[in-house]
Structure 1
C-alpha cells in the first residue's frame, strides 16, 4: 500500500518547529550569566554594572523594533525563507563573536547587531502562516509557539550547565553553533512553494499595505493588543524574584524557588498553546482571546493577595494557560485577516509591537514597585488587561462576522 505523501506545509511545520525550539534555547541560554559576563569584562561599580546590564539586555529590543518592518517588507518581496536564512546565519555569527569580546562596548555593539539580524522566529511564523491552510493555522501557530516556549524554558538550564562545564566564552561559541544548525535545517528542508513576490507598486509602501487590508482597524487593533499583552506580561518579570523573597521572609533558597516560579507560566503555555489554537480554529479564535483576557485579569488580581510562594506558583502556572490564549491566537487572527502577499510586513509590525511591549513592561513594573508595592504591580497589570479587553472589543470583535 502506497504511503500518503506528507503535505509540504506539514513538513515545513515539523522542521521549523524544531528550528525555533533550537533558537529558543540559543536566545535564552546566555541570559542567566550575561550580567556575570559583563562584570568579567571590566571593573565596574554596582551602579555601572546595573547600567550596562540594562543597556545590553534592552538594546536588542530597540534595534529590533525599528528594523523589523524593513525586514518584513523585504520578506514580502524576496521570500520568508530567505529572511529565515538571513536571520539565523547572521545571529549565529554574532552570538559566536560575543565569545571573543574584550570589553563591554564590544558586547553592547554585538547585542545591537543581534537586534539588526532579528526576525528568525517571526519569519518562521510568517512562512507557516502563509503555507498552512487557513482552517489549520491556529493549531500550526500554536505548535510554533509551544516549540519556541519549550526552547526558551530549557535554555537557561542548558546555558548554566555549559557555563559550569566550560566557561562563558565557550558557551557563546556553542550558542552560535546551535543557530548554525537552525540555519542548515531551514536551508535544506524548508520549502516555500506558495510564495508570490509583491510586484505591485501600490503595495510597496505602508499606505499600500493598509489599503490592501479589508479591515485595517482590526489589524492595528490586534497590533495594539500584542503590545499591551507583552507590556502586561513583562511588567511582572522584574519583581517576581523580589516578591518571592518577600513571601519567604528572606528565609530558604530564594534564588532556586524564584527560578522555578518564573518558569511555570512557560510550562503551561507549552502544554496548551497548540490545543488552544485547534480550539480557536473550531469555535473562533477571538473567543479564545477573550477567555484569555478574562482569565488573566482574575489571576493577576488574585496574585496581589497571595500569602506564600505555593499560592504564587499555582497562580503563575495558571497564568501560562491564559498566555497560550493570547499572543499565539493574535498571530492566528492576523493570519486569517491579512492577504498572504503582505503577511511578512504584518508579522514584522506585530514583532515590533511585541518588542515595544518588552521595553515598556519592565519599566512599568519597576516604577510601580518603586512608588508602591509588589502587590500593586499585579493589580495595575490586571487593570491593563481589562483595558486590553475593552480595546479588543472596540477595534477587533466588531469586524468579526
Structure 2
C-alpha cells in the first residue's frame, strides 16, 4: 500500500500547483521556473536520503511534486521561443531528452543502489538535479517575453483557471489525464504480471519489468525526432488518432500474450505510439495557447498529466483486485479508443 501511495503522491501535488507555476512563468519568466523546478527537486530528492520513517518520505514526496515540474517548464520555455512552423520539431527534441533520461535513469539507479545503497542513490539523484539547475542558470537563455495584450490586474487564480475557457483546451486536458492514467496504470504492476509468464530461467520478473520499461523508452526516444517534423508538416490530429488506436491495440494484445519475449516486443511497439501521443499533445498545447500564455498552457497540461499519473496506480490496483491484470489492459485499451472522438474536436 505504501509503495502505491508514495509513488502517486508527488504527481497529485504537482497536479495542484503546476498551473500556478505556469501562470508565474508567463508573468516573471520561464527560465526562473525551470531553475526553480531543478533546484527545488534537488533539495527534495537529496533530503530523501536522510529520512527516518515512511511519513517523512511521504512528506518529501509531496514537497517534490509541489516544487518540481521541469518537463512542463522546459516545454513552456521552448514553445514560447520557437516559431509555430517548427514547434513540433523543437518539442520533439525536449521529449526525446526526457525519454533518454527514462532509459538511462533506471540503469544508473540500479548501479547506484548496489554501490551506494538507497540513501546514497537519493543523494546522487539530488546532486544530478542540482547540476542540471546550475546548467540552466548559466547556459539557458530566455528570449524577451511576448505579451498577448495589455497587462491586466487579473488575480493568480483568474489566470490559473483562464485556460479552461480557451477553445478546445478542456478536451486537450481530458486527453492528457486519460493517456497518463493509462500509461501509469498499465506499468504499475508489471513485475507481478510477468512472474507468471513463460520466460528463460535467467530472466527474473523484476529484470523483465525493467527491460520492458527501458524498451518502451528507447523506441519512444527514437520516434520523437520523426514525429515532431511530421506534426509540423501535416498537423497533430491525424497522428494523434492513429497513435491512440495503436496504443489500444497493443494494450489488448498484451492481455493475451503467453511469453515474456512477446510481451517485451509489444512494449517496444507501444513506445512508438507513446511517442506519437506525446508529440501531438505537446504541440496541441502550444497551438491552443494565446501568445504570451504558454506557461499557463503547459502548467495546466502538467496538472492534468500529474492527475492522471497519480490516479493510475490507485484506480488500476482496484481494477486488478476485481478482475486481474489482463482486465486492466483491456479496460486501458478501451479507454484509449474512447478518447478518439475527443482527439478529433
Q: For the superposition of Structure 1 and Structure 2, which TM-score range results when normalised by the shorter chain?
A: over 0.9
CA contact (8 A) 2:163 2:300 kept: no
- Quote the Cα distance in structure 2 between the aligned partners of 1:221 and 1:241: 34
Question: CA offsets per residue over residues 267-310 of structure 1, 9 Å max, x none?
Answer: 11011012101111111111111110121122122222212112
Question: CA offsets per residue over residues 152-173 of structure 1, 9 Å max, x none?
Answer: 2211111111221222222222
CA contact (8 A) 1:210 1:216 kept: no
The residue that corresponds to 1:161 in the other structure is 111
The residue that corresponds to 2:251 in the other structure is 300
Shift of 1:89: 1.3
SS at match of 1:109: helix
Matched, 1:145 2:95: yes
CA contact (8 A) 1:96 1:177 kept: yes
Q: 2:290 aligns with which of 339, 343, 346?
A: 339
Normalising by the residue count of structure 1, what TM-score does the alignment of the two structures yield?
0.80
Q: Greater relative contact order: 1 or 2 (C-alpha under 8 angstroms, separation 6 or more)?
A: 2
The residue that corresponds to 1:9 in the other structure is none
The residue that corresponds to 1:237 in the other structure is 187
Count of aligned pairs: 343
Q: 2:15 aligns with which of 52, 65, 83?
A: 65
Question: CA offsets per residue over residues 73-110 of structure 1, 9 Å max, x none?
Answer: 11111000011111111221222222222232222222
Q: 1:255 aligns with which of 202, 206, 209?
A: 206
Shift of 1:374: 2.1
CA contact (8 A) 2:163 2:297 kept: no
Matched, 1:269 2:220: yes
CA contact (8 A) 2:178 2:335 kept: yes
The residue that corresponds to 1:368 in the other structure is 319
The gaps in structure 2 that reach 5 residues or longer are none
Q: 1:119 aligns with which of 60, 66, 69?
A: 69
- How well do the aligned residues superpose, as a CA RMSD in angstroms? 2.2
The residue that corresponds to 1:382 in the other structure is 333
- Quote the Cα distance in structure 2 between the aligned partners of 1:319 and 1:189: 35
The residue that corresponds to 2:132 in the other structure is 182
- Go from structure 1 to structure 2 and tell me whether the alpha carbon gap of 1:56 and 1:298 turns closer, same or farther (over 3 Å shift): closer
The gaps in structure 1 that reach 5 residues or longer are 1-49, 397-401
CA contact (8 A) 1:88 1:183 kept: yes
- Go from structure 1 to structure 2 and tell me whether the alpha carbon gap of 1:207 and 1:108 turns closer, same or farther (over 3 Å shift): closer
SS at match of 1:340: coil
Shift of 1:361: 1.7
CA contact (8 A) 1:69 1:352 kept: yes
CA contact (8 A) 2:240 2:276 kept: yes
CA contact (8 A) 2:240 2:277 kept: yes
- Quote the Cα distance in structure 1 between the aligned partners of 2:126 and 2:12: 22
The residue that corresponds to 1:41 in the other structure is none
SS at match of 1:200: coil
The residue that corresponds to 1:324 in the other structure is 275
- Quote the Cα distance in structure 1 between the aligned partners of 2:274 and 2:224: 8
